[in-house]
Amino acid sequence: METAQRLLATQRQIPADAETVSHQLMLRAGLIRQLASGVYTWLPTGLKVLRNIEQIVREEMDAAKAQEILMPGVQPAELWEETGRWDQFGPELLRFSDRHDRGFCLGPTHEEVITDLVRSEIRSYKQLPAIFYQIQTKFRDEIRPRFGVMRSREFIMKDAYSFHLDEKSLQETYEVMYQTYEKIFDRLGLEYRAVVADSGNIGGDTSHEFHVLAESGEDQIVFTNNGNFAANMEMVATQMPSAQRPSPEASIEKVSTPGKHSISEVSTFFSVSEDKTLKTLIVHGEKDSLVGIVLRGDHELNRVKAERLDKVRSPLKFASAEIISKELKCDVGSIGPVKLNIPVYADYSTSVMSDFICGANENGFHYKGVNWGRDLPEPDFVDLRNISQGEPSPGDNGPVKIARGIEVGHIFQLGTKYSESMKVSCLDENGKSITLIMGCYGIGISRIVAAAIEQNHDDRGIVWPKSIAPYDLAIVPINMHKSKRLYDSVMELYQQAKAAGFDVLLDNRKERPGVMFADMELLGIPHRIVLSDKALDAGTVEYKGRSDAESRDLPRDDILAFIRDRNDPD
RNA sequence: CGGGGCAUAGCGCAGCCUGGUAGCGCAUCUGCUUUGGGAGCAGAGGGGCGGGAGUUCGAAUCUCUCUGCCCCGACCA
């Protein structure tokens, strides 16, 4: 491919609307353009990356004996009514009517469609197990699309669905899919981790997420060095401490703490560490009630755990400052569990605290020397918090580490959630009708593009893993328009590289070198060859890998073999 | 949906407070010079200021009202 004939669409300036690195770089490198909120056009370069990812996914899915199909983006309401999701899904499901006033939606996922297909096509156990997949555009009317294609409304997903006669078969296929996902993310050249996950509203029991590790990731993942434990933060249980609560030594005392609101201010004021304080959060309960949630000062609330509590409204909603001051007669920074006349849940970790500090439910005052049982009733101690770095892991696998990740894959064991409501069965070898068991397996293809950039970039632009880079190799000639022999040499190398199977981008624009270098680096092309008259005399070319610190001169005749070796050292 | 912000040329912005008929940088086009890290000079084209209504002799500037987009919170690949 030659730059002069190609819509490179690179931009020098950072678009004002983009905040995250990947979003900025995708716009600047000319991969995408926004059409509407959460809706993007893929430009030629971006599409090449997308196709590279799709190809790897396709090859590995095919290798796992999954069969590719393509289902419609538009789906009839009746199917969704069968599973009850027409009502459950909420506004995220974009609904509309056709000219006959029949209800339709834009497919956010395809459990209903595939299940409908399978129930009419699969009749015998001999056709099972079966895995179907597609790579297709989905639409979810997200409340707030953001970060470019990281969370867009229209996006490209690989979704796969498996059907089984029994649980054992589902387990086997699930294991195959897990391994297939590992192969896919290995081939994509991304640093990732598989974690135990919450299955959310897709339904089912066992589920794993695959996260690309990146500082900017929205999810926290928890794992151990021995590799035997890895889970989404939402899922990591903390235990009731086994230690005995120390006996009270101090007596309760109300202390004036003017202007001290946050835990760090209060702990500094009292010259104690944050773990000697309690923080009390106020959330909405059922109906109009409020519920207090008490955590150790240095701990972080886990929303998913809080939502599971009987008295807490789901989804979790924090009480506003106005409601708190109206109902509790004090402001947010002064709340504590003592004489708090609403239901209170306290985290396990607070059960072994004594002589602690907490808000006095009066502006400008805190209590110190507070003790459970003596100064206030024992609350319900439950698991409410996020585990912290360095704490012992569940199952004795050593201390946990915490990293941030971007969820790019999710596999579920669905069980019979859809097959039951949609009555999918077939006959087993005894002629008995069996309700099929399902699994489903998603990969966010378009999100992977953004995640790969979040994980692999520098101050000059994208640094693509070589398997998904839009081009393998950039050829940058210096002053080609001035030298016929340079032109001939460049074109010869260009043809040779193409013949050798490289996807080559020849920068044949009449630009100054700096402009070409900057664009090729912004685009993140893994290998760059610079050709000049000077090097021609020496019989060399100048080579630089995208993440190399320095360029090097190599014999012209060896360059393609050199790059091939570098790509594939074996 | 709650909170905050923005909307002026392809991109980034100024002008708005104190109304007088739109400007800067980059990009684009032409010419000359230049050519190993986003060139220099000269010239050119391009918008009527998100839409609608109002106030006014006159509105990018003031008022009202829509709409779109971005950011922070609850959803998910």
Both A475 and A448 in one domain: the answer is no
Predicted pLDDT at A548: 96
- The CATH code of the domain that includes A424 is 3.30.930.10
> What sign has the CA pseudo-torsion A72, A73, A77, A82?
positive
Domain for residue A16, yes or no?
no
CA–C1' nearest nucleotide, residue A314: B74
Q: Which of the four pLDDT bands, split at 50, 70 and 90, describes residue A204?
A: low
CB of A91 under 7 A from strand B? no
Tell which of A361, A382, A403 closes a domain: A382
- A447-474 pLDDT tens trace: 999 999 999 999 999 999 999 999 999 9
Of these ranges, A9-23, A165-179, A223-237, the one predicted with the greatest mean pLDDT is A165-179
For residues A284 and A311, the answer to whether their CB atoms sit within 8 Å is no
Residues β-bridged to residue A212: A192, A406
Predicted pLDDT at A326: 77
Q: Which of the four pLDDT bands, split at 50, 70 and 90, describes residue A564?
A: very high
CB of A247 under 7 A from strand B? no
Domain for residue A500, yes or no?
yes
Predicted pLDDT at A216: 86
Backbone angles phi, psi at A427, to 5 degrees: -90, 135
Both A40 and A90 in one domain: the answer is yes
Q: Please state, in angstroms and rounded to a whole number, the distance separating the CA atoms of residues A405 and A217.
A: 4
Predicted pLDDT at A200: 54
Average pLDDT for residues A276-281, to the nearest whole number? 90
For residues A502 and A495, the answer to whether their CB atoms sit within 8 Å is no
Both A448 and A478 in one domain: the answer is no
Tokens of A423: 């009555």
As a whole-number percent, the residues of chain A with pLDDT over 90 amount to 66
Q: CA–C1' distance A395–B3 (Å)?
A: 42
Q: CA–C1' distance A16–B8 (Å)?
A: 15
Q: Please state, in angstroms and rounded to a whole number, the distance separating the CA atoms of residues A52 and A42.
A: 14
Domain for residue A393, yes or no?
no
Predicted pLDDT at A197: 85
Residue A533 above 60 pLDDT?
yes
Both A378 and A443 in one domain: the answer is no
Q: Which of the four pLDDT bands, split at 50, 70 and 90, describes residue A60?
A: very high
CB of A353 under 7 A from strand B? no
Residue A485 belongs to domain spanning: 471-567
Predicted pLDDT at A283: 85
Predicted pLDDT at A329: 79
State the helix-helix crossing angle for A44-63 and A167-188, rounded to 10 degrees.
140
- The CATH code of the domain that includes A535 is 3.40.50.800
* Residue showing tokens 């109009």: A288
Predicted pLDDT at A175: 96
From A119-123, A166-170, A199-203, the region with the lowest mean pLDDT: A199-203
CB of A397 under 7 A from strand B? no
Backbone angles phi, psi at A210, to 5 degrees: -110, 120
CB of A315 under 7 A from strand B? yes
Domain for residue A465, yes or no?
no
The count of structural domains within chain A is: 3
ipTM of the complex: 0.92
Residue A570 above 80 pLDDT?
no
Both A441 and A480 in one domain: the answer is no
What is the average pLDDT score of chain A? Answer: 91
Residues β-bridged to residue A40: A34
CA–C1' nearest nucleotide, residue A156: B77
- A257-272 pLDDT tens trace: 887 888 888 888 899 9
Q: CA–C1' distance A30–B25 (Å)?
A: 22
Predicted pLDDT at A83: 92
Both A543 and A449 in one domain: the answer is no
Q: Please state, in angstroms and rounded to a whole number, the distance separating the CA atoms of residues A388 and A79.
A: 44
CA–C1' nearest nucleotide, residue A218: B76
* Residue showing tokens 């630009």: A511
A119: left (phi over 0), alpha (psi -120 to 50) or beta: alpha
Within 7 Å of a protein beta carbon, the nucleotides of strand B are 1-2, 11-13, 25-27, 34-39, 68-77
User: Residue A492, Cβ neighbours under 10 Å: how many?
Assistant: 11
E strands, A16-153, in order: 32-36, 39-42, 67-68, 74-76, 95-97, 103-106, 130-139
Predicted pLDDT at A320: 74
Residue A483 above 70 pLDDT?
yes
- A313-369 pLDDT tens trace: 777 778 777 778 777 878 777 888 988 888 889 999 999 999 999 988 888 889 999
CB of A202 under 7 A from strand B? yes
A427 membership: H or E segment, kind and range = strand A425-427
**Helix (H, G, I), strand (E, B), or coil: what is residue A518?**
helix
- A141-160 pLDDT tens trace: 988 888 999 999 999 999 99
Q: Please state, in angstroms and rounded to a whole number, the distance separating the CA atoms of residues A208 and A194.
A: 6
Q: CA–C1' distance A183–B57 (Å)?
A: 75
Predicted pLDDT at A189: 97
User: Residue A562, Cβ neighbours under 10 Å: how many?
Assistant: 16
Predicted pLDDT at A321: 73
Q: CA–C1' distance A36–B17 (Å)?
A: 33
| List of A residues 128-147 with CB within 7 A of strand B | 140, 142-147
Q: CA–C1' distance A83–B45 (Å)?
A: 60
Q: CA–C1' distance A557–B39 (Å)?
A: 33
Contact residues for A318 (Cβ-Cβ < 8 A; gap 6+): A281, A282, A283, A284
**Which is higher by pLDDT, A398 or A173?**
A173
- A65-96 pLDDT tens trace: 999 999 999 999 999 999 999 988 888 899 99
Both A57 and A186 in one domain: the answer is yes
Q: Please state, in angstroms and rounded to a whole number, the distance separating the CA atoms of residues A23 and A130.
A: 38
Instruction: Write b or e for each residue in A30-39: b if 16 or more Cβ atoms lie within 10 A of its Cβ, otherwise e.
Output: bbbebeeebe
Average pLDDT for residues A487-493, to the nearest whole number? 96
Average pLDDT for residues A293-303, to the nearest whole number? 89
Tell which of A358, A382, A406 closes a domain: A382
Rg of chain A taking only CA atoms, in angstroms: 29
Both A159 and A71 in one domain: the answer is yes
CB of A349 under 7 A from strand B? no
- The CATH code of the domain that includes A322 is 3.90.960.10
Q: CA–C1' distance A447–B47 (Å)?
A: 36
Both A490 and A431 in one domain: the answer is no
Q: By CB neighbour count within 10 A (0-12 exposed, 13-18 middle, 19+ buried), where does A27 fall?
A: buried
Average pLDDT for residues A215-224, to the nearest whole number? 90
CB of A30 under 7 A from strand B? no
Average pLDDT for residues A27-49, to the nearest whole number? 94
Predicted pLDDT at A199: 59
Domain for residue A218, yes or no?
no
A147: left (phi over 0), alpha (psi -120 to 50) or beta: left
Residue A203 above 60 pLDDT?
no
Domain for residue A392, yes or no?
no
CB of A512 under 7 A from strand B? yes
Both A420 and A357 in one domain: the answer is no
